[in-house]
Structure 1
């Protein structure tokens, strides 16, 4: 997956807001996996994946036609943002720990 920017986070949160709370972690995992696979596809074939886009989390999220972005006064949206950010932080920590184990 390509480096994550603010727009990637908000696009993913917009998708999550449209799914049941109990399914959000699984949907987010699918979005991240799709972005990762699309990035690998782009590296191998020199073009974006026809369904998952260019390897960004935003492209994977936008393929699911997310709702418009609500304001930060929307508590459910804030919970979705928090889930995306905490998941990305955990993945980064795990990747760093994996690199440290190899040294």
Structure 2
């Protein structure tokens, strides 16, 4: 996956915010997996992945519906943002142990 910036996490959190709570964990994992697959595709071919883009989490997120971005006083948005960060920590830990 390409280096992560605030906008990547925000875009992923906005996708999650638009979903029922029961789907958020699964979709978050899917977006991270898609970003990683796209990054590998770009590295191997020099071309964007046809479905997931350039390997950024933002590109993977933007293949879905994004809610309008609220402020951090929105508790649901904060929970979604936190979920993305937790999933990214798990992803990076698993990458180090692979």
TM-score under structure 1 length normalisation: 0.87
Deviations 1:76-99 (CA, angstroms, capped at 9, x unpaired): 000000101111122223333x16
Partner of 2:3: 3
Are 1:64 and 2:64 counterparts? Answer: yes
Partner of 1:86: 86
**Higher Cα Rg: structure 1 or 2?**
1
* Whole-angstrom distance in 1 between the partners of 2:30 and 2:87: 12
* Whole-angstrom distance in 1 between the partners of 2:73 and 2:16: 17
* Whole-angstrom distance in 2 between the partners of 1:42 and 1:94: 21
Report runs of 4+ in structure 1 exceeding 6 Å deviation.
none
Q: Could you say what secondary structure the match of 2:31 adopts? A: helix
* Whole-angstrom distance in 2 between the partners of 1:76 and 1:49: 31
CA contact (8 A) 2:18 2:65 kept: no
Between 67-76 and 8-17, report the one with greater CA deviation: 67-76
For these two proteins, the number of residue pairs brought into alignment is 98
Q: CA RMSD in A?
A: 1.3
RCO higher in structure (CA 8 A, sep ≥6)? 2
* Whole-angstrom distance in 2 between the partners of 1:66 and 1:7: 12
